[in-house]
């Protein structure tokens, strides 16, 4: 038996090893002859191309951005050749799909031009200062060949004085690699004259993890060094939550920060890196403000990149994966990103009350959270997360972001674990980390419930919490929970008359909405269900001409009229729309919006228990 086993092992190995070495990498050579006009030239060499006809495509989706995008629109001059440049027939069969016919050589070379002029975590940007590449927005690929290794050659670096920042494996000189397509797509690459600072963290297992901060900005090196020390402090606070850092591939994690006023603010998590883009002049003077995105994205290196929802596995680059778990993957990350800045001393508890107020209002005062569960809110991400459309949606009334909804749920669970079980949300996150993330076993919502049952040793509590607050729309008692930490939840404007928002607070309306020539107040987005203006029958398309008999031309004038009224007063409103001029009556109500204040600020005395509770919750966990 032993001998046979040995023989079969040898034959298995020979097949396996042959298959490995036979898989020649798909090779991308990237050049920048026309950066002034935002173009890159990309040559993709596919050795051992699929035997018959095959497709070469651009992605329509990017990991961490939950809506679809048409990356194919920025790719043109697409041609196919053999290795000596002789044309091979290629046909574009869809916007982002090109077909190489049956009769092609063994090695097919695809050439194309990439245009990119949008700096964020999702798209590509090419200009004389940098090439900022989110991989799905930049690189074509071959469906069916996802498991093949990939190599990159970045040219023209000396010409522009650029260096390379990426989680791709550095093979030497300007050559980088990824073991497969999924890893490659997850590895944003910044080519620029960035500044850099690095440090080592000795992990709990004794191994060293190297953390790099690269910043493409107009800051001097000492500013980056100092900012690196702040990021370092935040990293250790996050490590304390989980008890260890993840074991990063190739032993490194890199923050790719890009700071410039005309960029588009964003943070995009990846397995061993994060792309953070901040639309301000410089890091200097804005350090604490910038740290929030760092804290959030870094938390993702555990929660979502390793503690991975099954619904995102494998990531589908041709269509957005819908994930009902984003209240956990994003919402719990949102909660921790903000909390950890308090624990690491960058925000005071007083400042944190404003963040908490935002979370609690989002769950207690939005129609989205009143009607839909956190799971439903998560599903809607395929439309909400920078999804591009021309016509408006009814987002104001049907969607409460899973970031804040999930964040508020995390807050309630943390306070309940602390007050009912003498546990913390950190204990729960550590359990999920050990049971799922560390061993890379993707989870479902029932798995999260099972882990809550495990950590509390109370399956009944876990089932109740999930049924009421995750699968249901019930709300926790935030006032009672916050009081344990000496915080008061109260009306932000008690006794003040309120008509509701005319702008809905959501995305601005686009085509098909009211436009006026400087007359009245056009309502541009859906008014919010339950608000006095909604009840009065006003909505997008209406233009308010007069309130309480006085002509109004902007929302400030309208608000000034409301401000001197009392709750219960009625205001006559004259408005027009496509069916002519109309009159309605708004009955003013008390503003439902809540605020959170410390006992100290409210002039109440903090008890010893409250002080201890708050200290354990908001104090540093770094030993």
DSSP states of 201-216 as a string?
EE-TTS-EEEEEEEEE
Pairing of strands 252-259, 273-278: parallel
Enumerate residues 281-320 that contact Zn ion by CB under 5 A: none
Complex with Zn ion: residue 64 or 392, whichever CB lies closer: 64
Q: How far is the CB of 38 from Zn ion (least distance, A)?
A: 28
Tokens in use for 192? Answer: 């620029």
Q: Which is nearer to Zn ion, 258 or 330 (CB)?
A: 330
Binding part of the chain for Zn ion, among 121-129, 163-171, 323-331, 543-551 by CB under 5 A, reads 323-331
Residue 117 to residue 125: CA distance in whole angstroms? 4
Residue 387 Cβ, how far from Zn ion at the closest point, in Å? 16
Contact between residue 62 and residue 137 where contact means Cβ atoms under 8 Å apart: yes
CB of 403 to Zn ion, least distance (A): 7
> Least Å distance between CB 99 and Zn ion?
36
* Minimum CB distance to Zn ion smaller for 66 or for 478: 66
CB nearer to Zn ion: pick between 190 and 330: 330
517 three-state secondary structure: coil
Q: 324 and 445 in contact (C-beta within 8 Å)?
A: yes
What CA dihedral angle connects 176, 235, 266 and 280, to 10 degrees? -110
| Smallest gap from residue 410 Cβ to Zn ion (A) | 13
Span of 195-203, 270-278, 330-338, 367-375 interacting with Zn ion by CB under 5 A: 330-338
Binders of Zn ion among 215-254, rule CB under 5 A?
A: none
Only segment of 174-182, 329-337, 374-382, 522-530 that touches Zn ion (CB under 5 A): 329-337
Least Å distance, CB 134 to Zn ion, is 15
Residue with Cβ nearer Zn ion (130 or 270): 270
- Nearest residue to Zn ion, scored by beta-carbon proximity: 330
**Smallest separation (angstroms) from Zn ion to the CB of 436:** 18
Instruction: Supply the minimum distance, in Å, between the C-beta of residue 330 and Zn ion.
Output: 5
Please, which residue, 266 or 330, has the CB nearer to Zn ion?
330
Show the beta-strand stretches assigned E in 96-194. 97-100, 108-115, 124-127, 130-133, 150-154, 163-166, 169-172, 175-178, 189-192
Q: Which tokens in the block code for residue 131?
A: 């090439």
How many Å separate Cα 275 from the centre of its chain?
A: 11
Q: Which stretch binds Zn ion (CB under 5 A): 162-170, 326-334, 381-389, 415-423?
A: 326-334
Cis peptide before 314 (omega within 30 of 0): yes
Q: Segment 23-82, which members bind Zn ion (CB under 5 A)?
A: none
Exposure on the CB side of residue 442, measured as CA atoms within 13 A:
11
Closest CA to 215 of 316, 152, 284: 284
- Joined tokens for residue 148: 């093949």
Q: Which is nearer to Zn ion, 406 or 506 (CB)?
A: 406
Of 178-186, 322-330, 473-481, 554-562, the segment contacting Zn ion by CB under 5 A is 322-330
Question: Angle at the Cα of 338 (from 335 to 339), degrees rounded to 5?
Answer: 80
Q: What is the DSSP letter of 198?
A: E
Cβ count within 10 A of residue 521: 23
Instruction: In angstroms, give the least distance from the CB of 269 to Zn ion.
Output: 6
Total residues in contact with Zn ion, by rule CB under 5 A: 1
Rounded-to-integer distance, Cα 401 and Cα 377, Å: 6
CB of 150 or CB of 295, closer to Zn ion: 295
User: Which pair of tokens denotes residue 442?
Assistant: 């993707």
| C-beta of 330 vs 542, nearer to Zn ion | 330
CA distances from 523 to 181, 416, 513 (A): 46, 41, 8
**What part of residues 149-178 is at the interface with Zn ion (CB under 5 A)?**
none
Segment lying near Zn ion (by CB under 5 A), choices 105-113, 327-335, 424-432, 447-455: 327-335
Identify which of residues 293 and 525 has a Cβ nearer to Zn ion in the complex.
Answer: 293
The residue ranges that bind Zn ion (CB under 5 A) are: 330
């Amino acid at each position: 038996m032993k001998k046979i086993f040995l023989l079969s092992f040898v034959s298995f190995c020979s097949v396996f090893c042959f298959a490995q070495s036979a898989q020649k990498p798909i090779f991308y050579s990237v050049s920048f002859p026309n950066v002034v006009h935002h173009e890159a030239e990309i040559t993709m060499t596919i050795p051992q191309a699929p035997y018959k006809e095959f497709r070469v495509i651009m992605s329509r989706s990017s990991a961490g951005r939950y809506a679809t995008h048409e990356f194919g629109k920025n790719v043109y001059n697409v041609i196919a050749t053999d290795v000596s440049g002789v044309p091979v027939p290629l046909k574009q069969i869809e916007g982002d799909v090109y077909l190489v016919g049956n009769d092609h050589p063994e090695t097919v070379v695809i050439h194309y031009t990439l245009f990119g002029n949008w700096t964020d975590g999702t798209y590509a940007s090419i200009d004389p200062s940098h090439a900022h590449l989110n991989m799905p927005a930049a690189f074509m690929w071959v469906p069916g060949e996802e498991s093949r290794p990939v190599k990159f050659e970045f040219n023209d670096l000396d010409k522009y004085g650029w260096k390379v920042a990426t989680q791709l494996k550095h093979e030497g000189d300007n050559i980088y690699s990824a073991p497969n397509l999924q890893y490659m797509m997850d590895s944003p690459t910044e080519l620029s004259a960035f500044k850099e600072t690095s440090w080592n963290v000795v992990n709990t297992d004794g191994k060293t993890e190297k953390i790099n901060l690269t910043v493409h900005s107009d800051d001097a090196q000492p500013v980056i060094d100092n900012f690196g020390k702040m990021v370092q402090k935040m990293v250790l606070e996050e490590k304390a939550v989980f008890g260890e850092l993840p074991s990063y591939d190739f032993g490194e994690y890199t923050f790719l920060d890009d700071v410039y006023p005309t960029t588009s603010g964003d943070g995009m998590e990846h397995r061993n890196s994060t792309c953070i883009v901040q639309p301000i002049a410089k890091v200097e003077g804005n350090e604490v403000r910038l740290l929030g995105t760092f804290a959030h994205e870094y938390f993702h290196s555990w929660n979502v990149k390793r503690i991975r929802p099954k619904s995102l596995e494998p990531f589908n680059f041709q269509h957005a994966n819908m994930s009902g778990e984003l209240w956990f993957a994003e919402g719990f990350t949102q909660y921790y990103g903000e909390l950890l800045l308090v624990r690491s001393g960058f925000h005071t508890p007083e400042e944190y009350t404003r963040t908490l107020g935002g979370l609690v209002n989002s769950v207690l005062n939005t129609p989205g959270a009143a009607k839909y569960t956190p799971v439903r809110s998560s599903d809607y991400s395929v439309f909400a997360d920078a999804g591009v459309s021309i016509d408006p949606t009814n987002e104001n009334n049907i969607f409460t972001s899973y970031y804040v909804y999930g964040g508020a749920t995390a807050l309630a669970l943390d306070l309940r674990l602390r007050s009912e079980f003498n546990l913390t949300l950190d204990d729960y996150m550590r359990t999920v980390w050990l049971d799922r993330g560390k061993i890379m076993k993707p989870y479902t919502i029932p798995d999260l419930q099972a882990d809550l049952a495990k950590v509390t040793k109370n399956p009944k509590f876990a089932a109740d919490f999930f049924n009421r607050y995750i699968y249901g729309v019930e709300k926790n008692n935030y006032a009672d929970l916050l009081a344990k930490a000496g915080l008061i939840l109260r009306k932000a404007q008690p006794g003040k008359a309120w008509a509701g928002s005319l702008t809905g607070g959501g995305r601005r309306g686009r085509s098909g909405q009211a436009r006026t020539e400087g007359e009245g107040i056009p309502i541009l987005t859906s008014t919010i269900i339950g608000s006095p203006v909604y009840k009065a029958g006003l909505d997008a398309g209406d233009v308010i001409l007069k309130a309480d008999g006085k002509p109004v031309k902007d929302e400030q004038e309208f608000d000034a009229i409301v401000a001197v009224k009392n709750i219960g007063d009625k205001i006559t409103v004259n408005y027009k729309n496509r069916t002519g001029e109309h009159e309605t009556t708004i009955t003013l109500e008390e503003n439902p919006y809540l605020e959170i204040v410390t006992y100290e600020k409210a002039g109440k005395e903090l008890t010893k228990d409250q002080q201890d509770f708050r200290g354990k919750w908001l104090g540093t966990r770094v030993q």
